[in-house]
Structure 1
Amino acid sequence: MADEKHVQKGTDDQQITLTDDQGNEELYQVLFTFDSEDYGKSYVLLYPSAAQEDEEVEIQAYSFKPDQAGDAASGDLYPIEDDDEWDMVEEVLNTFLADSDDDDATD
């Protein structure tokens, strides 16, 4: 069975604060979220909200349990530890970025 994904592009008000091992907090913007039937999980992809538009950034990816509104909350984020799961997330991200590039080319 194919892995069905529902990608929802982030909006300006979807932000999550992540805390690193040293207790430093950084605000992240939600790039998009999607669901995977194969893994039975929801995923969120984030980038630093302080990043400039043309700046290359490292995108963070987590699985999450949606709240009642279907959104990700920082307390509900889980690391992705399975290699096959990472491959699937990277494939979705690459498709999203390719579609975004196509949209930019037609603007």
Structure 2
Amino acid sequence: MSEQAGNENDDLITLVDDDGNEELYKVLFTFDSDDYGKSYILLYPASAENDDEVDIQAYGYQPQKDGEDVSEGELEPIEDDAEWDMVEEVLNTFLDDDGNFNA
């Protein structure tokens, strides 16, 4: 999947799957990991209602270099179990006991 440009709102990202289908996502939050040397972005479907249970998507990406346009950046799937555990741990620090996001 890749992040596509063209969104006027920085909190929205269009993901394109392998079949060319597009879906709009909202950015939940981003964070950096010194252990893995990259940044992470967590997303949820923009169409989700407040009461809906949502499937949060998480991806890694290389931190932006000065002068680089990140709007065409590639999101990297998280394939390592230890890396995924770290991402889940960070996510869980932002969720309350009911699974709601604590901003």
Q: TM-score scaled to structure 1, two decimals?
A: 0.73
Corresponding residue number in structure 1 for 2:55:
58
Percent identity between the two aligned chains: 65
Q: TM-score scaled to structure 2, two decimals?
A: 0.75
What's the secondary structure of 2:36's corresponding residue? coil
How far apart in 1 are the matches of 2:71 and 2:55? 20
Within-5 A mapping of 1:14-33: 14-33=11-30
The number of equivalent residue pairs is: 93
* Segments ≥4 residues shifted beyond 6 Å: none
**Mapped contact 1:34–1:43 kept (Cα < 8 A):** yes
**Mapped contact 1:41–1:63 kept (Cα < 8 A):** yes
**Mapped contact 2:38–2:63 kept (Cα < 8 A):** no
Residue 95 of structure 1 and its aligned partner are, at CA, apart by 0.6
Kindly indicate which of the two structures has a greater share of residues assigned to helix.
1
List runs of 5+ in structure 2 lacking aligned partners.
Answer: 1-8
Matched, 1:82 2:80: yes
- Return closer, same or farther for 1:45/1:102 CA change in 2, 3 Å cut-off: closer
Q: Which of 33, 42, 47 is 1:45 aligned to?
A: 42
Which structure has more relative contact order (CA 8 Å, sep 6+)? It is 2
- Return closer, same or farther for 1:59/1:94 CA change in 2, 3 Å cut-off: same
Which stretch shows the higher mean deviation, 15-24 or 86-95? 15-24
